[in-house]
Structure 1
């Protein structure tokens, strides 16, 4: 009986680590909406992968690491009023679910978690350090990490990310990420913005 329980425990432990390390692709998704002046505006997120890895500091209970890949694209068609401006933005929302106030004194953790993303060009979110994005990720909140904005050329544009390193430290509990792509156009009479989101993934 004890041997059977030991084998079962080992199997669950190995499968859990494999699920943690394998990451995986997320389905491509597009959203199309009509603007007030007749334009069909499309936002697409594709090629999304969130590959979870064991943190280099060997502290998986307070540090989460992953490599992110994503393409955000979009465009507009079939309208009549001239488009004066159009752009595509893409990135990830990152959330830390633990509330540090509820932890016991035995847990060594500060009031905020630290997030670092290595992606040039760096985006300033709370601070900029040597080409990486750094932010204070408050427990119970969501930080929007925008990797950039590309203006339309001939009615379309896109941004691709491959193997961007994400590290969240000091968050005891669940860390979740969710991709997004935002497409905006402006005409003389209307501004229109369309979003598409990926599935939330836990690190």
Structure 2
């Protein structure tokens, strides 16, 4: 079984409760499923959950990483140099990123409003970047944008491998069961 779940902002990526915090258990009612990969509490968007340990390993293990696309609202406007730096291997101190794809995009018109909303500053513009990675270290996208002078304000994972919120539109907190046959072998 494979579940697509749109994780809301500030929801913990675990089923075990933590006092005063929402977790996956507050949203996903199907017993026996576990996350195939993680998404930090400050991030929103697509997660895959499964009851199949082999499939979970295939999705999350570094040797079989599925491409993941993140829509990132940043503080500032990227220039060509910043986008080039994001795409090239980037030294983040404790590791060097693999090459990735990073392009400036228009604000996604299909994206739900975040609660609480992103702070707005009249004196500093924000913009959006789509970043596609085939790796996923802890808070990697946030660290990458900060390293090029564009702090992340909002981070939404929009796709994992063949699964996308564009083709499976889910509002935050919603989930749907899909066929696992689309995961690459």
- What TM-score do the two structures reach when normalised by structure 1? 0.28
**Higher-helix-fraction structure:** 2
**Higher-strand-fraction structure:** 1
Q: Which has the higher contact order (CA 8 A, sep 6+)?
A: 2
Query: Larger radius of gyration, structure 1 or 2?
Result: 1
